[in-house]
């Protein structure tokens, strides 16, 4: 059996479980996002800002995916919400069965929005459906404006692009218009937000969009 | 045949070809580094600064690995040195056989130092030996100080850590001592350099180290 055949079988099995997850989320009326980016682009910081902004308004649960450590789960747990940590122990992406198992530890009746923070990796998580309503890719200005062209699959699979670290734009070699044009050349349907977790700029607009999606799915 | 068995066979085959690459490099007296990092940490910028600094003193060849595009090879080719681009078309890391094939396109007699710039990914390239003398991992200050703990395998496999974007330290949530302590807790043997490609600080020390290695291996 060839490696490619094995890979196809893995993806087919993953997609089947992702479908079950998605059906469960739809039955429960939960809006689910899969947060993806390079390491250090700001997934956990965006999540923290989102939790602050929506506190008392939206019931949120979180699944944290990391190669090692529960540092991110510790950061998020301070907001007094349900958090489950998945440690992949070297694995470079989350898979649908890991999310399926994590769901057993969350009271789904108690949440409206589930945020799955994937492993920091701009390549591999693109191919693994977890059952989410949409992938949200974060690209920070410090990574430069060419990343959508160099890692196109993730920008193609995402519905939303958050350009983070806007406060550092003046100090780095990144043209924001080029970055957005490059992203839209890969995926013209991308909804784009510009944020800074340091100044909190753009967090309002991002959270408004989230609330709007909740109203559609709830 | 299980997936794990297949994975072991892939790695064993990769290691065998990496061994052949390494033997070739040693016969030719070429020092080879495998440059790894997250997307946008500054692999190509460090390489450009290195090429400027060592111009006329060291004969350098480059193999560029990217998921898509030859943007990095175009940047490096301006320095009038031999460059071969490998496009992995979705693949999340370079493998020894890709490097083996790329070597056919470089006149090895004409170079002393070969820099292999891997795909931007802090997870998967850790497991694939390419035949290099050492892995050099770049972590930028903008990624935060917790990355060695969260992605330990790469820091364990590397011999050198370049902490890049030191000029942005004042603007980001990153304690440089914590970052270095975290890296050394994973791998106490790491040689650490602190650089900025904007101000060129630290490039001298990094290039001095490279020249010293060339003298040992030449």
**pLDDT, tens digit, for every residue of B155-170?**
999 999 999 999 999 9
- DSSP secondary structure, A67-136, as one string: SS-SHHHHHHHTT-S-EEEEE-TT-SS--HHHHHHHHTTS-GGG-SEEEEE--S-SSGGGG---S-SEEE
Q: How confident is the model at residue B106 (pLDDT cuts 50, 70, 90)?
A: very high
Alpha-carbon distances, residue B97 vs A62, A180, B16, B131 (angstroms): 40, 36, 10, 10
Beta strands in chain B (DSSP E): 31-37, 60-66, 83-87, 113-117, 134-140, 160-164, 191-194
Summarize the confidence of residues A75-91 as an average pLDDT: 95
The pair of structure tokens assigned to A188 is: 């013209």
Task: Report how far residue B91's alpha carbon sits from residue A185's, in angstroms, rounded to the nearest whole number.
Answer: 21
> What's the whole-number average pLDDT of chain B?
95
Task: Report how far residue B193's alpha carbon sits from residue B195's, in angstroms, rounded to the nearest whole number.
Answer: 6
Above 70 in pLDDT, residue A218? no
What tens digit of pLDDT does each residue of A29-80 get?
A: 999 999 999 999 999 999 999 999 999 999 999 999 999 999 999 999 999 9
User: Do B86 and B116 touch, CB atoms closer than 8 A?
Assistant: no
| Residue A160: predicted pLDDT | 98
| Residue A4: predicted pLDDT | 67
Identify the contact set of chain A against chain B, taking CB-CB distances under 8 A: 1, 3, 6, 10, 38-40, 66-69, 71-72, 90, 92, 119-124, 140, 142-144, 146-147, 149-153, 165, 167-168, 171-173, 198
CB distance A38–B120 less than 8 Å? yes
Q: Which residues in chain A have their CB less than 8 angstroms from residue B124's CB? A: 92, 121, 123-124
ipTM of the complex: 0.92
Q: Which residues in chain B have their CB less than 8 angstroms from residue A142's CB? A: 40, 140, 142, 165, 168
Task: Report how far residue A96's alpha carbon sits from residue A22's, in angstroms, rounded to the nearest whole number.
Answer: 10
User: Do B143 and A39 touch, CB atoms closer than 8 A?
Assistant: yes
What tens digit of pLDDT does each residue of A6-31 get?
A: 778 889 999 999 999 999 999 999 99
What tens digit of pLDDT does each residue of B121-151 get?
A: 999 999 999 999 999 999 999 999 999 999 9
CA angle A172/B162/A182 to nearest 5° reads: 35
Supply the pTM of this predicted model. 0.95
Exposure class string for B163-185: b at 16+ Cβ within 10 A, else e: bbbbbbbebbebeeeebbebbee
Q: Which residues in chain B have their CB less than 8 angstroms from residue A122's CB? A: 38-39, 120-121
Above 80 in pLDDT, residue B7? no
Three-class HEC string of B29-66: CCEEEEEEECCCCCHHHHHHHHHHHHCCCCCEEEEEEE
The pair of structure tokens assigned to A39 is: 């390491």
């Amino acid at each position: 059996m060839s490696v490619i055949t094995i890979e196809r079988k893995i993806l087919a099995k993953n997609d089947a479980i992702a479908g079950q997850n998605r059906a469960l989320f739809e039955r429960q009326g939960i809006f689910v996002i899969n947060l993806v980016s390079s390491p250090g682009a700001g997934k956990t910081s965006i999540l923290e800002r989102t939790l602050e902004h929506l506190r008392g308004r939206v019931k949120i649960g979180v699944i944290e995916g990391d190669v090692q450590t529960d540092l991110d789960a510790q950061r998020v747990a301070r907001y007094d919400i349900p958090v489950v940590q998945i440690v992949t122990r070297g694995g470079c992406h989350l898979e649908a069965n890991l999310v399926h198992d994590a769901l057993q530890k969350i009271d789904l009746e108690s949440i409206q929005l589930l945020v799955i923070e994937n492993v920091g990796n701009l390549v591999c998580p693109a191919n693994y459906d977890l059952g989410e309503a949409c992938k949200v890719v974060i690209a920070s200005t410090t990574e430069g404006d060419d990343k959508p062209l160099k890692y196109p699959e993730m920008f193609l699979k995402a519905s939303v692009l958050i350009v983070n670290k806007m406060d550092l734009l003046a100090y780095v070699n990144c043209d924001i218009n080029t970055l957005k044009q490059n992203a839209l050349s890969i995926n013209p349907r991308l909804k784009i937000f510009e944020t800074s977790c340091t100044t909190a700029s753009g967090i309002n607009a991002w959270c408004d969009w989230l609330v709007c999606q909740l109203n559609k799915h709830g």
